[in-house]
Structure 1
Amino acid sequence: MKRAAIGLLTAILTASLAACGSSSTPATSDAPSGAGSAFPVTVDTAFGQVTVEKAPTRVVALGWSDAETALALGVQPIGASDWLAFGGEGVGPWAKGLYEKAPTILGTQELSFEAVAALQPDLILNTRSNLDQKTHETLAKIAPTIAAPKDVIPYGTTWRQQTELVSKALGKPDKGKELIAGVEKEFKDAAAFSGKTAVVGAFFGGKYGAYVPGDSRVDFMKELGFGTKKDVDSLAKGSFYVDISTEQLALLDSDLTVMFPIGGDAAVLKADPVLNGIPSAKAGHLVILEDKALSDAFSSGSTLGTSYAIKNAVPLFTAALQK
């Protein structure tokens, strides 16, 4: 699958809309407090090393959850892409109140480079993206651009990698380590599923599919101790998601099956006799994520969203497996 196609599929499967246009007057990024001595810093990315000469004050966050990551570090982007179509400030409820002024909302799949340049950024974050080199080269002409790390699939940057990249670029590596340690502790405290397997699937436009390792949703389950199904993983061809036909729905069977009703009504999944005929569903081990906030937190792959998902999804998993 071409990168552009992968990017488009990602946007669809997470219910994100290409968010062009803008909101209110852009805010000015908070300069990292006491970070002057941390600069210059050099960050290794998939497109080579990027040097940030001084503490950035006008940060534009384009990558998936880059804005939430910057906010968690105490920096308010002046422009950001709204990948999950939250509206408003372009971040989930777990990041509510972290902006003093709303950022200019930029596009996702249909990004306007002119709109980015008009904000006069001194740093661009694009750490979770489709890894398009031409896009990176264009952005790098506007301002130093922090791309994904090496050796990840499109949109495959983990929450740890994203936090490490962004915190280093912002001159806040210690704060980044603190955020990572906090989420790791939450995972450790909640990891009670060793020996169990889980499949994370989605339903969009009348079609089923499953996420595979390298996607934040599957990685989330692995952090909780779940294993994955090899017969699902083997279908992956350098992507984060595989299509599954109705005739193949048995592939979704596992100790726990988690389903995302993307852009639709969960009632459709509840009424599907084929899905509800797989063993995990019959045993009550099927969890359909009906709550959009929880589904989005699961998909966000940011430290803030991941923490929200741990607190709210784990009880659902525990209850299902106890049936």
Structure 2
Amino acid sequence: MRSTTVSLLAGSVVLSLALAGCSSSDGGGSKASSRTRTVTDAGGTEVKVPDKPKRVVPLHYSATQPVLDLGFKPVGQGAFEKGIIPKDQAAEIEKIPVVARQEPKLEDIAALEPDLILAPNVYDEETLKALRDIAPVYTFTLRGGDRARWTQRTEEVAEALGVPEKADKLQAAFAKRQKGIAKKYGKVIKGKTVGVIGSYEENNFYAWGEKNMQGSLMVPLGFTWSRQESKIVKGQKEPEATLSNEKLASAVSDADVLFLDSNLRGQVNAFMKTVQKTSLYKQLPAVKNDHVYVGGKNTVAGYTDAHYTLDRVEDALKDLQAE
């Protein structure tokens, strides 16, 4: 796998704007507006939320990043892995208290005096009730059939925050960038089949079908998604699957270019490093042709993640163009 220089480009700019002084949710004892709006969350529940939330607490990173992308700074957040935040923003974001891991820390959340809590759609009703006793709770999509449409999570968070127009602007800018890459590198991309894999446990790898998050990033550029990879996850509730390493060849041997799950430092995890040492991996055509690249996070939290992946794809395309 070739090394790449990590550039954050548009994704970093998004977070920079959020941290540079957005007053919407910057803490400091700000009091919420008495005005409220009624919105319907991902679970179909009508929720009265502040018209202009000022003390927002997302309980999972898949909502924290959209909150930041939309120009808000949360007063609390869910746990996150090191390396998934842009390097130049990590120190600032790490100062925000972590108030949820597997389960939310109710006392810690209450101490922050939030006026809006963003909860993933994985909590039971008892947990949600306890959270609602603290502040209004908007449930967003983390799991389920719609999770592949990662833009939906930003749309949901934007609705809860009362800034849907900002989500529209982020989407328009991202789509424009995709079209620009497709035009600039059209001749390089034409006829190329792409596959994406990760690994999150011993002796297994993770395969992603075309209808998942990474597919929404790369297919619009003009790539053909690995038919083998889409076929091997067919029938799954979500178009993705954990598979034995023995199935590597049957999953992505048709891929001309292979992207690996990584953090936002261009680093793969220990499980992926182990996969890379196997003879089955080394025999993949993309590996033998030295067409393997880091691709950023396979699970896209928001536009910062998505832009980082496009950064890495552009690095790969420049490399392929030079051949």
How high is the TM-score relative to the length of structure 1? Answer: 0.72
Partner of 2:86: 92
Aligned position for 1:179: 170
Cross-structure match for 2:136: 144
**1:76 deviation in Å?**
1.0
* 1:252 counterpart residue number: 252
Deviation at 1:269, TM superposition (A): 4.6
- The equivalent residue for 1:286 is 292
CA distance in structure 2 between the aligned counterparts of 1:248 and 1:265, rounded to whole angstroms:
16
Between stretches 226-235 and 35-44, larger displacement belongs to 35-44
Q: Give the conservation status (yes or no) of the 8 Å contact 1:70–1:166.
A: yes
Q: Distance in 1 between matches of 2:82 and 2:107?
A: 21
TM-score of the superposed pair, with normalisation by structure 2: 0.72
Structure 1: gaps (5+ residues): 1-26
Write the mapping of 1:150-161 to structure 2, written as runs, cut at 5 A.
153=144, 156=147, 158-161=149-152
CA separation of 1:316/1:114 partners in 2, compared to 1, >3 Å: closer, same or farther? same
User: Is the Cα–Cα contact under 8 Å of residues 60 and 100 in structure 2 kept in the other structure?
Assistant: no
Equivalent residue runs for 1:1-323 within 5 Å? 29-30=25-26, 40-86=37-83, 91-93=85-87, 95=89, 102-126=95-119, 129=120, 131-134=122-125, 135-149=127-141, 153=144, 156=147, 158-191=149-182, 192=186, 193=189, 195-204=191-200, 205-213=202-210, 215-234=212-231, 235-236=233-234, 237-239=236-238, 241-250=240-249, 251-253=251-253, 254-260=255-261, 262-264=268-270, 268-287=274-293, 289=294, 295-296=296-297, 299-320=299-320
- The answer on whether the counterparts of 2:296 and 2:312 sit within 8 Å (CA) in structure 1 is no
**Contact 1:28–1:78, Cα closer than 8 Å, also in 2:** no
| Partners of 2:53 and 2:116 within 8 A in 1 | yes
- 1:255-298 deviation per Cα after TM superposition (whole angstroms, max 9, x unaligned): 322223753176545443211212232233332x2xxxx634x5
- Contact 2:63–2:301, Cα closer than 8 Å, also in 1: no
Deviation at 1:173, TM superposition (A): 2.0
Q: AA paired with 1:247?
A: E
1:151-198 C-alpha deviation (Å, 9 max, x unpaired):
x62781634212222222212222222122112211221234365332
| Counterpart position of 1:7 | none
What is the SS of the residue equivalent to 1:242?
A: strand
Q: How many residues align?
A: 281
| Cα distance in 1 for residues equivalent to 2:258 and 2:37 | 47
Cα deviation 1:23-67 (Å, max 9, x = unaligned): xxxx99249xxx979952424422423231431111001133322
Find the counterpart in structure 2 of residue 11 from structure 1.
Answer: none
Take 1:307 and 1:246, find their aligned partners in 2: how far apart are those partners?
29
Q: Which amino acid aligns with 1:252?
A: V
Structure 2 unmatched runs, 5+: 1-22, 263-267
Aligned to 1:3: none
Residue range with higher mean Cα deviation, 207-216 or 161-170: 207-216
Alpha-carbon distance between aligned partners in 2 of 1:316 and 1:104, rounded to the nearest angstrom: 37
Is contact 2:75-2:96 (8 Å) kept?
yes
Q: 1:189 to 1:95 in 2, by over 3 A?
A: farther
Cα distance change, pair 305–246 in 1 and its aligned pair in 2 (3 A): closer
The structure with higher relative contact order (CA 8 Å, sep 6+) is 2
Root-mean-square deviation (CA, aligned residues, Å) is 3.5
SS of residue in 1 equivalent to 2:95: coil
- TM-aligned CA deviation for residue 201 of structure 1: 0.8
Indicate the SS of the match to 1:274. helix
Whole-Å Cα distance in 2 between the matches of residues 46 and 214 of structure 1?
22
Residues 157 and 218 of structure 1, relative CA distance in 2, 3 Å threshold: closer
In 1: Cα distance, 2:322 partner to 2:246 partner: 28
- 1:239, CA displacement in angstroms? 3.5
